[in-house]
Amino acid sequence: MKTRKGMLTRSFWYSVGVYIVFNSLFLAFVIIKPGPTRQFVIMDDIGQALGWLLGTIFCLVGLQLPIKRWFSRSETTETVEKSAQKWVPLFFAAGIFCQFIGQVIYTYYDIKHMKDFPSLADFAYLSTFPFFFLAFYLLPTRPLFKTTRERVILDGFIIMVAAITFSWFFVLGPTMLQGQETILAKIVGSAYPFFDLVLIFCVLRLMIRSNEPALWPAVQLLVPGFLIIVITDSIYDYMNLGTYTNGWQDAGWPLGYMLIGLAAQALIIARRRKTLISFADSGTSAAIDVPVRFEWFSILPYVLIPAVFGLMVYVWQSGKSSTLEEGVYFGGAVLIGLVVLRQYFVIRQTHFFNRQLQSIQQELSLKNQALSDANKQLEDQAQQLEAAYEQQVHLNEIKDQFLLNVNHELRTPLTEIHGYLDLLSEYRGQLDESLRDTFIEHAMHGSEELLHLVSNVLDTIRGDVYRKAPQFEELSMAHTVNEVIALFEPNKQQDYELKVHIAESLMVRADRQYLHQVLVNLLSNAFKYSPPGTAIEVRVELRVKAADSEIQEPSSEALVSVQDAGPGIPSADIALLFGKFVRLKRDMVGTVRGTGLGLYISKQLVESMGGRIWVESTGVPGEGSRFCFTLASVSAVGVIEQATPLPLIMESDATIQSSNVESR
C-alpha cells in the first residue's frame, strides 16, 4: 500500500501499528484454534467484536464535529455541504460500531446457544450499510465529461452484472431459493449479498472519480478494506448454505473494517491540514477525464466477460435446467447487451475527445497567432525604441557638434572685433585717419558677420523659415544674380574666374529675399572651398517639364546651378549634407569655418518656393561640386544654344549686405 508519509501524522502510524499487531495475533489465533471448540468459538466472536471496536476508535481519532456550523442558519448551501463532508469519518465510525453491536448480540446468542435467524444481530449488522452509503455519497469526487461518465456507468453495470451473475449462482440464488426458511429470513439472508454488490459499485465509483492527492491515501485504504469485507461476506454466505464453522475466514472482518477505520483517520488528517479540496465546494463546473492511474480499470469489464461465459458453459454442460441456471443465462445476455452499448459509448467518447482536441488545437493556433502578433509588435516596438535611441544619440552628437561649431564661429568674429577695438582704444591719438578707418571697417565687418551668424542660428531654432510665407514676384534671373555677386568683396571676383551663363530675358516666379539668401549661401560655399585662381560657374537654364496627365499642359522651370572647383563631396555624405548643423568630418579639423546651417536654410527656402535642391559631386578632389535648385519659370525669349558670359556689375563701394552662410 503506497502512501506519502509526509501527509500523515504520528498518531496514524501508531494506529497502523495497533492494526498490524492485533490482526497478526487474531489471524494466528483463528488458524491455530487453541482450546476446546466451544471456547474457541466464544473467543473468536469476542476477537471479532474487539476488532470492530478498534476500527470505530480509529475513525474517531482527531475528529472534530461541525455541529454549530451544521445547524447555523446563516450558512450557505455550499458551506453546509462542506460541513457535511466533515461527517464522513463519523458515518464510517457509526457503520463499524453497528457491526460491533451486532457482534456483541451474536456473541450473547452463542453463549446462550440461541440460533434464531433473523435476529437482532442481523438487523444491527445490516444497519452498517446505510451509514457506509452516506459516507460514500459525501466523499468529494471530480466531475467527469458526459461521454466519460456514460462509459464509466456502463463499466460499473457490466462489473455489477458479472458479480450478480456469479452471486446468483453461488450465494444469492441459493439463499433466496431455500424452501425451509420464512420470507423474512429470505429477505434478510439476501440483503447481505445484495448490499455487498452495492458496496462493490461504491468502490468502483470511488476508484474512478477520486483523483485528489490528499484523498488518495484514504482511497488506498478504503478500496482494499471493502474488497476484503465483500470477499469475507461472500465466503460466509456460501459456507452458511451448508454448515458454517468458525475458522481463518473470520479474520477477514477485522482486517477489512479496521482498514476503513484507518481510512477515516486519514480523511480527518487531510481535513485538519486543509489539503483536501472538494470540487463541488470550489464552485468549478469544469469536467475532467478519468485519472491516468485508473486507465487499466477500463479493461476490467472485458476481463470479467470470459469468466461469465465460462460459467455459462459450465451450466450448459451440467445439463440442469433450474432457476439458478436460467439466471446465469439471463445475466450473460444482459452482459452482451451492455458490452455492445458500451462500445457505442466508447465510439461517442472518441468522437467527443477528437472534437475537444480539434477545439484545443484551434485555440492553441489562435493563441500562437496572437503570441506571434504580440512578439511582432514587441519586435517592432524594440526596433522603434532602437531607432529612437539611435536618433537621440545622433541628435546628441549634432548638439555637441553644433556647440563646438558655434563656439568656434562666435570666437573668430568676437576676437576680430575685440582686437581692433583694443587697438583703437590703446593707440587712440597715434593713429592716422586712414588706419583708424581700416580698423573700424574690420571691426564692423566682424560685428556684421557675428550678427548674421546669430540671426541664422536663431532663425533656425525658432523655425521662422517654416512659418514665413514667401512673397512671390516676377524676377529677372540675370539681374538677380548680378545683384548677389555685387554683394561680395571685389577681391573675391579678382581671385576667382567667375563665369555666368544666363539668358537676359529669363524670368522666374520667386521671393526676392529668399532667392538672394540661397544664391549668397551657394556662392559663399563656392568661394570658401575653391582654391584661388579656379573657375566658379553660375548657370541658369530653362527646362520644360512633362505634363502629369493629358489634360495638363507642359510647364517650364528654371534650373539654377553653381559649379565650384573644390575638393568635392564623398557620396556617403551627400545624403546628410542638407541636414541641420551638419558639417563634414574633414571640415571639423580643417581651417574652413561654418555652422552647418547654410545648406539647411537654403533647402527650406527653395522648397517653400515650390522648388527642389540637390548636389552633384564625384567626391574627387579638383572636380568640385555642382549645387542645383529649381524655380518656376514665367517666360523666356529664345533658348540659348551657347551661352556667353554677361558683364559683371563691379561696385567697389558696395558693402556686403549678407556675409558668408556656410553649410559644409
3 state DSSP class of 557: strand
More confident residue, 169 or 101: 101
Nearest to 108 by CA among 68, 165, 49: 49
More confident residue, 317 or 493: 317
Residue 585 has pLDDT above 80, yes or no: no
638: confidence class by pLDDT, cuts 50, 70, 90: very low
222: confidence class by pLDDT, cuts 50, 70, 90: confident
More confident residue, 151 or 30: 30
Whole-number pLDDT of residue 421: 84
Whole-number pLDDT of residue 651: 32
Percent of the chain at pLDDT exceeding 70: 71
Whole-number pLDDT of residue 559: 93
More confident residue, 445 or 636: 445
Write down the mean pLDDT value for the chain.
Answer: 76
Whole-number pLDDT of residue 168: 75
Indicate the DSSP class of residue 540.
Answer: E
Whole-number pLDDT of residue 178: 65
* 203-207, 314-318, 437-441: range with lowest mean pLDDT: 203-207
561: confidence class by pLDDT, cuts 50, 70, 90: very high
- Determine the Cα–Cα distance for residues 605 and 629; give it in Å rounded to an integer: 11
Whole-number pLDDT of residue 145: 64
Cell of 5: 508519509
Q: What is the mean pLDDT of residues 529-553?
A: 78
- Determine the Cα–Cα distance for residues 609 and 603; give it in Å rounded to an integer: 10
More confident residue, 462 or 63: 63
Cβ-based neighbours of 620, under 8 Å, separated by 6 or more: 568
Q: What is the mean pLDDT of residues 53-76?
A: 68
Q: What is the mean pLDDT of residues 440-456?
A: 74
Q: What is the mean pLDDT of residues 211-238?
A: 79
- Determine the Cα–Cα distance for residues 136 and 236; give it in Å rounded to an integer: 24
More confident residue, 514 or 463: 514
- CA distances to 153, 173, 174, 234, 310 from 193, rounded to whole Å, are 21, 10, 11, 7, 22
Whole-number pLDDT of residue 288: 44
- Determine the Cα–Cα distance for residues 290 and 148; give it in Å rounded to an integer: 7
Residue 522 has pLDDT above 60, yes or no: yes
Residue 460 has pLDDT above 70, yes or no: no
588: confidence class by pLDDT, cuts 50, 70, 90: low
Contact 625, 462 (CB under 8 A): no
pLDDT tens for each residue of 26-55: 999 988 888 888 888 889 889 999 999 999
Q: What is the mean pLDDT of residues 237-248?
A: 71
- Determine the Cα–Cα distance for residues 491 and 502; give it in Å rounded to an integer: 23
Nearest to 304 by CA among 339, 329, 337: 339
Whole-number pLDDT of residue 502: 92
- The listed range with the strongest mean pLDDT (184-198, 361-375, 536-550) is 361-375
Residue 440 has pLDDT above 50, yes or no: yes
Nearest to 19 by CA among 66, 60, 53: 53
475: confidence class by pLDDT, cuts 50, 70, 90: very high
